[in-house]
Amino acid sequence: MTIERLPKRQRQQRLVQIIEDNPFVTDQELTRQLKVSIQTIRLDRMELGIPELRERMKLMAERSYDQVRSLPLDEVIGDIVDLQLDRSGISIFEIREEHVFSRNHIARGHHIFAQANSLAVAVINDAIALTASADLRFVRPVNLGEKCIAKAYVQTSPARRGKAKVEVLTYVGEEMVFQGNFVIYRSDGEEHDEGGLDHANRD
Amino acid sequence: MTIERLPKRQRQQRLVQIIEDNPFVTDQELTRQLKVSIQTIRLDRMELGIPELRERMKLMAERSYDQVRSLPLDEVIGDIVDLQLDRSGISIFEIREEHVFSRNHIARGHHIFAQANSLAVAVINDAIALTASADLRFVRPVNLGEKCIAKAYVQTSPARRGKAKVEVLTYVGEEMVFQGNFVIYRSDGEEHDEGGLDHANRD
DNA sequence: ACAATCTTAGTACCAGGTTCTAAAACGAAG
DNA sequence: CTTCGTTTTAGAACCTGGTACTAAGATTGT
């Protein structure tokens, strides 16, 4: 009747919208914003499968808590899908919102580098492997949503102590977007380390 | 009387401990673990200034929400403390737990690179600036807790369109730890952008 | 006009508390 | 032993932000 009241469909969309950009809103507040009774709000939440305020907060809290717990997951950037130690490796990394310049949605260079660098270090079968120097070419800008496939090839034989050369080529589909030549210090393999854990990873 | 029951002081210490490593515990559960009544638990929380479960969850949720909200703060890595557009800039970046290899507490190369890259891009006074290529030398490993001071110098004149060369030197104290030569694409300054916001930053 | 859908109202109940009052229990000191 | 001060426990009333359920209006489509 009143102009403000929307049909169910649109109201529910707005409800999703409102909760999405302020998850801390109570049903009470929602009645004010949507001009319907609290029961309607609750029926809507039911239908949409949106949990109550406390449940939402709990989920957020748990998520952040888990994140903190598993922080060393950023030890390796990108998802290593194939690894032949001292020979080659492949990793996949999807460019998300947090990796791009907000203005033009182009990936910041250091994320592309981070993937390549992580892979170059992972592929070296050594207890301690550190980047010594690198030579980079950002062939073309990478955009939000694109999947970067980085391929690393070790150029020097594992016998050679001290330094290893690794070439990393990163592709989006067929297209090469980045190329880097890394020199990696290796620690002469004093520590015997079967490398399993070190190269473990998940998104 | 029973062996399990601790004096007040120690009980409160344990209570803090328990909540610290599982913030999602209810008072009910605490009574079980500490073998005292729920009132005692609550008095203890009062005295210790520990909020109730729901409040704790809310705080965590808000903290994580704020983090997500302010994520584009990672647009620039490091704290830019001085910036003369098209000429030079300085940024400070402290190596924290999340930036190092957990095993040896040495900073991962891509974080050092990220600081330098961010600064190199920030110092170019242009609406769109992207890293085209770079040449890096990691002079010595950087350790947990060290403060990296990156200094960038633009080598090409601002008049030159298309590309700019920027040299970045990163120091810990007196010691140079990283050196990089960046080639940055610039967008011929079509968009007029007085640069204020773009280079704003906080930790 | 009448059924189907949508909306509102109201009650009972729940978790996980706060606040307040008051009674036990305990420990040390006189 | 008694008495005082602290500590612990108990209990009732109340709060928020809900769920679950029943039932009565209001609106709509045909």
Q: Residues B72-108, buried b or exposed e (16+ Cβ, 10 A)?
A: eeebbbbebeebebbebbbbebebeeebbbeeeebbb
Nearest CA in chain A to B198: A103
Q: Note whether B62 contacts A24, CB cutoff 8 Å.
A: yes
Strand D proximal residues, A:31-90, Cβ < 7 Å:
39, 42, 45, 51-54
Parallel/antiparallel/unpaired status of strands B147-154 and B163-172:
antiparallel
Q: What is the pLDDT of residue B72?
A: 39
> Locate tokens 């005692």: which residue?
B40
For residue A98, how far is the Cα from the chain centroid? 8
> Contact, B118 vs B166, CB < 8 A?
no
pLDDT band at B14 (very low <50, low <70, confident <90, very high): very high
Check CB contact of A74 with chain B, cutoff 8 Å. Answer: yes
- Residues of chain A falling short of pLDDT 70: 1-6, 66-76, 159-160, 188-203
Question: Which residues 19 to 58 of B reach strand D, CB within 7 A?
Answer: 36-37, 39-40, 43
Query: pLDDT tens across A2-58, in order?
Result: 335 568 889 999 999 999 989 999 999 999 999 999 999 999 999 999 999 999 999
> Which residues of chain B does A134 touch, with a Cβ-Cβ cutoff of 8 Å?
109, 134-136
Q: How confident is the model at residue B150 (pLDDT cuts 50, 70, 90)?
A: very high
pLDDT in the model for residue B137: 96
A162 vs B: CB within 8 A: no
The model's confidence at residue B98, banded by pLDDT at 50, 70 and 90, is confident
**Contacting residues of A for B65, CB less than 8 Å apart:** 23-24, 60
What pLDDT does A113 receive?
A: 95
Strands (E), A28-99: 79-84, 88-94
In whole angstroms, how far apart are CA A13 and each of A28, A40, A168? Answer: 18, 14, 46
**What is the per-residue pLDDT for A81?**
78
Q: CB contact, 8 Å: B52 with chain A?
A: no
Structure confidence at residue A6 (pLDDT): 67
Nearest residue to A130 via CA among A78, A182, A194: A182
Give the confidence band of B75 by pLDDT, cuts at 50, 70, 90. Answer: low
- Is it the case that residue B158 has pLDDT exceeding 80? no
Q: Strand, helix or coil at A31?
A: helix
Mapped onto helix, strand or coil, the DSSP state of residue A130 is strand
The pLDDT score that the predictor gives to residue B197 is 36
Residues of A in contact with B121 (CB under 8 A): 108-109
What is the distance between the alpha carbons of residues A28 and A37, in angstroms, rounded to a whole number? 9
* Tally of CB atoms within 10 A around A98: 13
> Reading across the β-sheet that carries B79-84, which strands appear in turn?
A79-84, A88-94, A147-154, A163-172, A175-186, A129-138, B129-138, B175-186, B163-172, B147-154, B88-94, B79-84
- B105-149 residue pLDDT tens: 999 999 999 999 999 999 997 878 899 999 999 999 999 999 999
CA nearest to A184, candidates B106, B185, B169: B106
Nucleotide at minimal C1' distance from the B54 CA: C16
Which positions ≥6 away from A24 have C-beta within 8 Å?
Answer: A53, A56, A57, B58, B61, B62, B65
Residue identified by tokens 């001085």 is B82
Return the bridge partners of B132, or none: none
Phi and psi torsions of A196, nearest 5°: -55, -60
CA separation (Å) from B160 to A38, B86, B184, B185?
64, 11, 12, 11
Asked whether residue A108's C-beta has any atom of DNA/RNA strand D within 7 A, the reply is no
Closest alpha carbon within chain A to B56: A61
Contact A25/B at CB under 8 A: no
Amino acid whose CA is nearest the C1' of D11: B39
Interface check for A131 against chain B (CB to CB < 8 A): the answer is: yes
